[in-house]
Every structure is written in structure tokens, then in C-alpha cells.
Amino acid sequence: QVQLVESGGGSVQAGGSLRLSCAASENIYARCIGWFRQAPGKEREAVAAVYARRNSTGYADSVKGRFTISQDNAKINTYLEIHPVKPEDTAIYYCSAASRPWWDCTSTMNGADFGYWGRGTQVTVSS
């Protein structure tokens, strides 16, 4: 069982920067990690994913150029940097790990393939 804990959310003004962190309970080199978000009244959407074994990343079209996903060398922490933040980035952000290891999820980022989820961290962007 992979446990994930997000941090780094909060209130930020549009145009600023934000860095979200996701701490895993174990080394996640072999497991695809994704960031998802859910805004009020909207469905959950994938925003970014990373698969360390192939050094591959994926991004939703809506966030390309503003979001950057990365991991630390120990492959325990996964980060999501947002710059510049926009009011439409307001949402709860969730970190997730793919249900099966040794599989690259970065081209699909389908939520159904992720079996481990954190509790989320709230991001609120004011204009």
C-alpha cells in the first residue's frame, strides 16, 4: 500500500507561483505518479504525471507551459510547480500513484488507473 500526503496548498494571487509537494511512504521509482485536481462543481481532471523509470512526464493541454512536475533524487517526493497561477487553477489538488508498477501512465493519465490517493491540498487563487 502506497501512502501519499500532499502539502503546499494555500491562497495565492494570480500571477504568482506555487509549489505543491507529495510525500510517498516508499520509493516510487517504478510507479507512475499523477497530480489531479477537482474544482467546485467540476469533475476531477488529470494535470500532470511522471514516470521516473523512463524519465517521462505528461501534462494536460490546459496547463502546458505553466505546470512542471518533478521528483527528488530519492524518488520519495513528487512536486508540482505552477507559474503563473490563474484563478481557474483554484481546486483541490490530489497526488496519486498508479495501481500497477512498471507502467508508464504519462500518455494517458486516466484516473481509473490510479489506485492510491492522497487526501488533497486546497489551492485558492485570487484575481
pLDDT for position 81: 98
Mean pLDDT, the chain, as a whole number?
96
> Which sign does the torsion angle of CA 51, 57, 62, 68 carry?
positive
Centre a 10 Å sphere on the Cβ of residue 19 and count the other Cβ atoms it contains.
13
Mean pLDDT of 77-100: 97
Question: What is the band of 75 on the pLDDT scale with cuts at 50, 70, 90?
Answer: confident
pLDDT digits (tens, 9 = 90+) for 21-66: 999 999 999 999 999 999 999 999 999 999 999 999 999 999 999 9
The partner residues of 95 in beta bridges, in order of sequence, read 35
